[in-house]
Amino acid sequence: MADAKALAQERTQLFHDIIDGRIPKRVPVFVGFPVEFAIQYAGKDLVEAQWDTSQLEEIFDKVCRDFYSDLLPVNAFRFPSFYRILGARNFVMGSNGFLQHPEVEGLLQEEYDDFIANPYNCIIEKILPRLYTELDTDASTKALTLAKAFKAFQDEMGNAIMIYGKLTEKYGYGDTNFFAGFTEAPLDFVADQLRGFKGISTDMRRVPDKVEAAAEAATPLMIKAGLHPIPPSKYNATFIPLHMAPFMRTSDFERFYWPSFKKLVEALAEAGHPSHLFVEQDWMRYLDYLYELPENTVMRFEYGDPKLVKEKLGQKHIISGFYPISLLKTGTKQQCIDKARELIDILAPGGRYYFDFDKAPVTLDSVNVENTRAVLEFVATNANY
Amino acid sequence: MNTKYYKTWEQYLAEHPEIDEKQAKAMAPKMQGYEDMMFSFIMFLLM
């Protein structure tokens, strides 16, 4: 236990150093394996383990034991229990055990004005009953259904958090949390489950004023959602996965996406909650915008030019990502290690960088496990300053 | 937030003048906490 405590202190220091603008002893490693990957890796059944979540400790323990990371490398937050109770149309477990996210339309185009006038009322009265079929009923049944779902949500999250605590202590993970809260860019919120990708793409042409107003109206909700209950700290960040921007014209991004998103990140920072952005797809067109965000915004990139990102953002923000998990599947062990070395050579100088993959491996067969372990061990052992 | 589905503690207290000062002080964090937990849950369902 004493060793785990010392290890945790050392790992915490690595992350504190990159956040405080100091050069750490070595490049910190923080990778995440989703629950589906972990279940498959542990040889368990996807359906059974996501319903019987008492199995999760053993499942996550195997991942922690076998894959190097300086912060807890496992997480689960979409459990089938509460989605099923609510009759979810937006998250549905397939026969293979994966929780699918079908394209949905929670808000009709003719309802924009309702949403803009009062987004939370519109969510409760119109959007939730449309996406959650068991809430489309009389008030009494609705109340009981929501109570059951809320109980299930609290039970599942409580169990997961207890497991995280045990594993963090057991394996000596660092005390920095880049998933302390969760919110979305306002336009992504309007796009993802309210209007859908197809709907929002049409709306930006046909009803642009309403799209702009809807993103603005959603912003206070997104800010409030991102203000997690963990006391404000520059070492704990709110996670914001970014979706729509790469699929938009730059002029549309400037009008519909950027103003409310910037307002969100700035408001969280002002409240003492830095943001951890998963910069999905290719944002190279928007690097000058990202530079404007508050100092020490954590940015994990999926695709793009790491040299350009380091040059433009590396002095101000915390950078990560870029390592292609596709290579972990197709490359030789040496090719995989060489790629890690190449990225570290580009991104590590000057600090403000931690190692992560470009995305999380959702399934066990999306990577070669031996390559994955070899790369993580390589970085942990060799990426010293 | 201008909505009948989320109340700050101050709004709740204004609607319940029967709550005395001692009780109010003791119950405020818990009551506000549950309000915020439900808000977070509702928003999570759409993210």
pLDDT tens for A330-381 read 999 999 999 999 999 999 999 999 999 999 999 999 999 999 999 999 999 9
pLDDT for the residue numbered A11: 98
On chain A, the residues whose CB falls within 8 A of the CB of B39 are 224-225
The answer to whether A40 touches A364, Cβ cutoff 8 Å, is: yes
**Biggest CA pair distance of chain B:** 39
CB contact under 8 Å between B44 and A182, yes or no, is yes
Beta carbon pairs, A and B, within 8 Å: 55
Q: Name the residue of chain A whose CA is nearest to B4's CA.
A: A121
* Distance between CA atoms of residues A245 and A158, nearest Å: 34
Topology of the domain comprising A2-382: TIM Barrel (3.20.20)
For A358, the token pair is 């470009």
For residue B19, give how far its alpha carbon lies from the nearest alpha carbon of chain A (Å): 26
Q: Which of residues 196-225 of A touch B (CB under 8 A)?
A: 220-221, 224-225
The answer to whether A24 touches A14, Cβ cutoff 8 Å, is: yes
Kindly report, residue by residue over A279-316, the tens digit of the pLDDT.
999 999 999 999 999 999 999 999 999 999 999 999 99
The answer to whether A370 touches A44, Cβ cutoff 8 Å, is: no
At A273, give phi and psi (nearest 5°).
-115, 100
For residue A117, give how far its alpha carbon lies from the nearest alpha carbon of chain B (Å): 10
Residue with tokens 């949500």: A153
Tell me the one-letter amino acid at B2: N
Mutate to test the interface with B, among A105, A123, A194, A219 (most CBs of B within 10 A): A123
pLDDT for the residue numbered A184: 98
Radius of gyration of chain B (CA): 12
Q: Is the pLDDT of residue A233 over 70?
A: yes
Mutate to test the interface with B, among A224, A244, A278 (most CBs of B within 10 A): A224
Per-residue pLDDT band at B21 (split at 50, 70, 90):
very high
The answer to whether A385 touches A350, Cβ cutoff 8 Å, is: no
* Distance between CA atoms of residues A62 and A307, nearest Å: 35
Q: Name the residue of chain A whose CA is nearest to B41's CA.
A: A150
Q: Is the pLDDT of residue A1 over 60?
A: no
Angle formed at CA A232 by CA A228 and CA A237, multiple of 5 degrees: 65
CB contact under 8 Å between A132 and B45, yes or no, is yes
* Residue A88 exposed, middle or buried by CB count within 10 Å (0-12, 13-18, 19+): buried
CB contact under 8 Å between A221 and B1, yes or no, is yes
Which of B5, B37, B44 is opposite residue A121, by nearest beta carbon?
B5
pLDDT for the residue numbered B38: 97
- Beta bridge mates, A276: A239, A298
The answer to whether A352 touches A28, Cβ cutoff 8 Å, is: no
CA atoms within 13 A on the CB side of B4: 2
Which of A153, A193, A220 is opposite residue B1, by nearest beta carbon?
A220
Kindly report, residue by residue over A94-139, the tens digit of the pLDDT.
999 999 999 999 999 999 999 999 999 999 999 999 999 999 999 9
Tell me the one-letter amino acid at A347: L
Which of A106, A120, A189 is opposite residue B5, by nearest beta carbon?
A120
For B1, the token pair is 């937030």
pLDDT for the residue numbered A231: 87
Q: Is the pLDDT of residue A2 over 80?
A: no
Alpha helices in A67-138 (DSSP H): 80-85, 112-117, 119-122, 128-131
pLDDT for the residue numbered A230: 85
Per-residue pLDDT band at B1 (split at 50, 70, 90):
confident
pLDDT for the residue numbered A360: 96
| Averaged pLDDT for residues A192-213 | 97
For residue B5, give how far its alpha carbon lies from the nearest alpha carbon of chain A (Å): 7
| Averaged pLDDT for residues A30-42 | 97
* Distance between CA atoms of residues A351 and A320, nearest Å: 11
Mutate to test the interface with B, among A78, A121, A151 (most CBs of B within 10 A): A121
Helices then strands, counting H and E runs in chain B, come out as 2, 0
Is A132 in the B-facing interface, judged by CB distances under 8 Å?
yes
Helix B21-44 / helix A208-226 crossing angle, nearest 10 deg: 130
Q: Is the pLDDT of residue B25 over 80?
A: yes
ipTM associated with this complex: 0.95
Per-residue pLDDT band at A154 (split at 50, 70, 90):
very high
Tell me the one-letter amino acid at A169: E
